[in-house]
Amino acid sequence: MPEENPQSKDTRATIKVCLHEKCCRKGAEQVYANLKEGLSKEEALVLPVYECFNFCKEGPNIAINDNIVRGVKPFLAVERVRQELRDPSCRADGLGSKSLDALDEVLEDITKL
């Protein structure tokens, strides 16, 4: 069996930008454009997402490798992503990023209220 070439693995970050209408009203389209222009293809794959991340009041929102980062300012988007890649926000105490998978649990809890 041939050995897997470690350099062939895609190590880029995946950045998903919420382009739902509420985030767009807060500048999400400019966040998306700035990330597409400011991050190299080697750094990140930047994707538009039209599903809401459910943090509309805190938008524009992005997901970096499925960890949500809220309130991303268009003019600071590239810098914010690079900072998150170097030092991800803490999720244990509810501050900073939240995994997209964790949202399912949050939504379940909310619907039980």
Asked if the bond preceding 60 is cis, omega within 30° of 0, the reply is: yes
Q: Which residue has the tokens 């524009």?
A: 60
pLDDT digits (tens, 9 = 90+) for 20-70: 999 999 999 999 999 999 999 999 999 999 988 888 899 999 999 888 999
pTM confidence score: 0.71
Q: What residues pair up with 47 in beta bridges, in sequence order?
A: 16
For the chain, which residues make up each domain, given as ranges? Answer: 12-112
Smallest Cα–Cα separation from 38: which of 10, 59, 62?
62
Q: How far apart are the first and last CA of the chain?
A: 54
Superfamily of segment(s) 12-112: Glutaredoxin (3.40.30.10)
pLDDT of residue 51: 86
Contacts 24+ apart (CB under 8 A), 79-84: 81/13, 81/15, 81/35, 81/39, 81/44, 82/43
